Amino acid sequence: MTKENNRFEELVKPFLVLVGICLVVGLLLGVTNRLTAPVIRRNQLAQAEATRKTVLDGASGFTQIAFDEATLRQLGIDSAYRENTGLGYVVTVSRKGYRSNVAVTIGLSPEGKVLKLSADVSAETSGIGSKAGDAAYVSNYVGASGSAENVDVISGATYSSTAVKECVNAALAAFPTVKEVSG
């Protein structure tokens, strides 16, 4: 065996094998993503609809209120929906918690009072930040209108509970615009 042939065996051949493996794995990941993306999206939409129905008892269905991205940013909300029979509105807002974004879905009466809310704090610290999503805490916001400044944050879970409070305040502040635009 020549020196050049030996060098090919030691350096180039392992490199080519690794490149081949990477290409095959990348192709398989791409195919898997293409096949599962629609299913994942359908599940996300179904979960969002279920959450909206949870925070607005008796809701039959929702119509999304059309806002462009700039208006959503200006209002400080992620999305807004009007319940089809006039039960109220659902606004979703997210803010930075301790470890991740905290998403809060708020059910509002036609007058703008908080009826119920759901806080997704699943990525926050278990047993600490996750307390900001407990029913005992989020129930403090029920009945709030205009502002939720009278609700205290949770000691030890300040970032997470502050995120929930900011979300509720953003939804309450955006409510007049949401109601006006929805007709």
Per-residue pLDDT of 67-118, as tens digits, reads 988 888 889 999 999 999 999 999 999 999 999 999 999 999 999 999 999 9
> What is the pLDDT confidence band of residue 166, given thresholds at 50, 70 and 90?
very high
Token pair of 171, please? 């939804």
Backbone phi, psi, residue 24, to 5°: -65, -45
The answer to whether residues 127 and 106 touch, using CB atoms and an 8 Å cutoff, is: no
| β-strands 114-120, 89-96 pairing | unpaired
Residue 5, pLDDT above cutoff 80? no
> Which range, of 1-10, 25-34, 36-45, 70-79, averages the lowest pLDDT?
1-10
pLDDT averaged over every residue in the chain? 92
Task: Give me the percent of the chain exceeding a pLDDT of 70.
Answer: 97
Average pLDDT of the segment spanning 130-137: 92
The helix or strand, by DSSP H or E, that contains position 103, with its residue range, turns out to be: strand 101-108
Q: What band does 183 get if pLDDT is binned at 50, 70 and 90?
A: confident
Strand order in the sheet with 101-108: 62-64, 79-83, 89-96, 101-108, 114-120
d(CA 62, CA 80): 10
- pLDDT grade for 3, boundaries at 50, 70 and 90: low
